[in-house]
């Protein structure tokens, strides 16, 4: 490096350098040879701090955020040695992310993912917008420490574009935070003024004075013409799965006049889209009674409940039971399961789970029936998932005619070189 920089630095292995050169933003613990403190500040490097990454020759590779408790030791935020990591830097990044959402989502940007972690250069931070509410998950220690900067500039960028946000709610109650040494918390951030006098956000514990000013933790959204009640305090993740937005619309296009079984319905999104698309009857199934109750409420909200049924049961029990009863009620089945694997170690067992539900669905469907099936685990890559579905079709004695192969909505962008951003596989077939 030609000039001395004011940051600590980590020298990494050639393997780590090669991974960065291919576009991945992570440096793993085993790839760090040694770390040095910032010039004039001793050898210590604070957890969550900015740190330069260099190769064995001292050549600059990027600057990232240090996570001492994680196997992902450094997450890059830039590869530009000229960047200054001030408020203006983060505001530019937020503005780029928001401009992208407006471009690819259009009017649908009113309910979309505004920041998608590594895909937007905010490693470990996810922010979803539900009309006038933002819901955030912060999963890395570096982003946790930068929230007092990032959240105010996020509100500022939206406000400058005429978007009014009544509050930002944090869903930091996920176990993943423990890998970063972070506590599990949830609650509103309260409006305040930052040091620059701009409207900002300061963290308040749930129930602290001032949090009640932001109103209830339930809001309504409209997606694909369907109205939903979103409970962002108690619902899964940030309260609603926005990534399937256009896949639900694809299902609705094929649903007219059909009898639809929506498995793993959660709060009823695929089921409601099918009913909205003109399905004769839709049964929404989920193991969670709370989720089924919310799905029923959403159906009533849209005046669709008279053509819908709701069943709280285990899909792995329901499908074999329908087959044993020779029940041929359904000519369209939707399989939208949770991620069956969150690590490489459990891919084989996950494959068996995916095969089981697809096999059972194919056995239930009549010739000419339709199947929508997906996986939301990035460890279950596209080719492996295709193999699982093909194997299920072989064992079920059916042939599949592919109608569409789809992925997550573009507000969850896939960045080439970062396979973790490419996680949702979605297929629609006709059984022939």
Can you spell out the DSSP letters for 55-110? -TT--EEEEEEE-TTSSEEEEEEE--TT---SHHHHHHHHHHHHHHHHHHHGGGGG
The token pair that represents 223 in the structure block: 């997606």
Nearest residue to 378 via CA among 339, 406, 410, 428:
339
Q: Name the residues annotated as catalytic.
A: 376
- CA–CA separation, 313 vs 315, rounded Å? 6
- CA–CA separation, 66 vs 45, rounded Å? 9
The token pair that represents 115 in the structure block: 């920041």
User: Where do the domains of the chain lie, and which CATH numbers do they carry?
Assistant: 9-78 (2.30.130.10), 87-215 (3.30.750.80), 219-431 (3.40.50.150)
For residue 116, the SS3 value is strand
C-alpha torsion sign, points 31, 34, 39, 40: positive
C-alpha torsion sign, points 71, 77, 80, 85: negative
Regarding beta strands 226-231 and 185-193, do their DSSP bridges make them parallel or antiparallel, or are they unpaired? unpaired
Residues 299 and 226 sit within 8 Å (Cβ to Cβ): no
The token pair that represents 320 in the structure block: 């074999």
Distances (CA, A) of 294 to 61, 242, 260, 306: 48, 17, 19, 16
Nearest residue to 96 via CA among 171, 140, 153:
153
Burial (0-12, 13-18, 19+ Cβ within 10 Å), 253: middle
Residues 202 and 190 sit within 8 Å (Cβ to Cβ): yes
Nearest residue to 53 via CA among 30, 72, 81:
81
pTM for the whole structure: 0.91
For residue 11, the SS3 value is strand
- Please enumerate in sequence order all residues whose Cβ is within 8 A of that of 387, keeping only pairs 6 or more positions apart, or say none: none
Helices 269-276 and 245-254: angle between axes, nearest 10 degrees: 40
pLDDT in tens, the chain (432 residues): 456 899 999 999 999 999 999 999 999 999 999 999 998 787 789 999 999 999 999 999 999 999 999 999 999 999 999 999 999 999 999 999 999 999 999 999 999 999 999 999 999 999 999 999 999 999 999 999 999 999 999 999 999 999 999 999 999 999 999 999 999 999 998 653 344 333 444 444 444 434 445 778 999 999 999 999 999 998 888 989 999 999 999 999 999 999 999 999 999 999 999 999 999 999 999 999 999 999 999 999 999 999 999 999 999 999 999 999 999 899 999 999 988 877 778 889 899 999 999 999 999 999 999 999 999 988 899 999 999 999 999 999 999 999 999 999 999 999 999 999 999 999 999 999
Can you spell out the DSSP letters for 270-336? HHHHHHHTT-SEEEEEES-HHHHHHHHHHHHHTT-GGGEEEEES-HHHHHHHHHHTT----SEEEE-
The token pair that represents 130 in the structure block: 């539900």
Residues 10 and 32 sit within 8 Å (Cβ to Cβ): yes
Distances (CA, A) of 334 to 61, 150, 250, 264: 45, 38, 12, 8
C-alpha torsion sign, points 11, 14, 20, 24: negative
Residues 354 and 375 sit within 8 Å (Cβ to Cβ): yes
Q: Give the residue carrying structure tokens 């890395």.
A: 140
For residue 390, the SS3 value is helix
In this structure, the number of other CB atoms found within 10 A of the CB of residue 404 comes to 14
The token pair that represents 303 in the structure block: 């005046």
């Amino acid at each position: 490096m030609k000039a001395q920089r004011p940051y600590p630095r980590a020298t990494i292995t050639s393997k780590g350098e090669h991974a960065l050169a291919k576009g991945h933003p992570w440096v793993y613990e085993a790839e760090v040879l040694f770390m040095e403190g910032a010039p004039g500040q001793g050898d210590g490097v604070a957890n969550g701090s900015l740190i330069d990454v260099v190769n064995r020759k001292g050549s600059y590779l990027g600057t990232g955020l240090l996570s001492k408790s994680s196997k992902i030791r450094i997450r890059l935020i830039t590869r530009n040695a000229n960047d200054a990591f001030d408020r203006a830097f983060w505001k530019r990044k937020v503005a780029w992310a928001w401009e992208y959402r407006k471009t690819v989502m259009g009017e649908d940007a009113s309910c979309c993912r505004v920041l998608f972690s590594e895909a937007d250069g905010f490693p470990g931070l996810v922010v979803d917008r539900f009309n006038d509410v933002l819901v955030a998950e912060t999963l890395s220690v570096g982003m946790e420490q930068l929230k007092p900067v990032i959240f105010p500039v996020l509100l500022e960028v939206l406000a400058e574009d005429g978007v009014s946000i009544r509050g930002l709610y944090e869903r930091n109650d996920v176990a993943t935070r423990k890998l970063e040494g972070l506590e599990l918390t949830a609650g509103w951030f309260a409006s305040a003024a930052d040091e620059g006098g701009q409207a900002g956000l300061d963290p308040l514990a749930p129930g602290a004075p001032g949090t009640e000013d932001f109103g209830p933790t339930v809001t309504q959204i409209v997606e694909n013409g369907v109205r939903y009640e979103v409970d962002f305090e108690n619902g899964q993740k940030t309260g609603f799965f926005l990534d399937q937005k256009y896949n639900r619309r694809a299902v609705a296009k094929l649903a007219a006049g059909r009898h639809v079984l929506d498995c793993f319905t959660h709060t009823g999104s695929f089921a409601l889209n099918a009913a909205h698309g003109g399905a004769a009857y839709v049964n929404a199934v989920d193991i969670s009674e709370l989720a089924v109750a919310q799905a029923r409420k959403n159906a009533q909200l849209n005046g669709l409940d008279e053509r819908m049924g709701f069943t709280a049961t285990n899909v792995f029990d329901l499908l074999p039971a329908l087959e044993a009863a020779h029940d041929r009620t359904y000519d369209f089945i939707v399989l939208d399961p949770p991620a069956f694997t969150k690590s490489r170690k459990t891919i084989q067992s996950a494959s068996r789970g995916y095969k089981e539900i697809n096999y059972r669905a194919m056995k239930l469907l009549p010739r000419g029936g339709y199947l929508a099936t997906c996986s939301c685990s990035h460890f279950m890559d596209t080719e492996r998932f295709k193999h699982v579905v093909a194997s299920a079709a072989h064992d079920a004695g059916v042939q599949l005619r592919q109608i569409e192969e789809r992925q997550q909505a573009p507000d969850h962008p896939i960045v080439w070189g970062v396979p973790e951003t490419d996680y949702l596989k979605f297929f629609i077939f006709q059984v022939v």
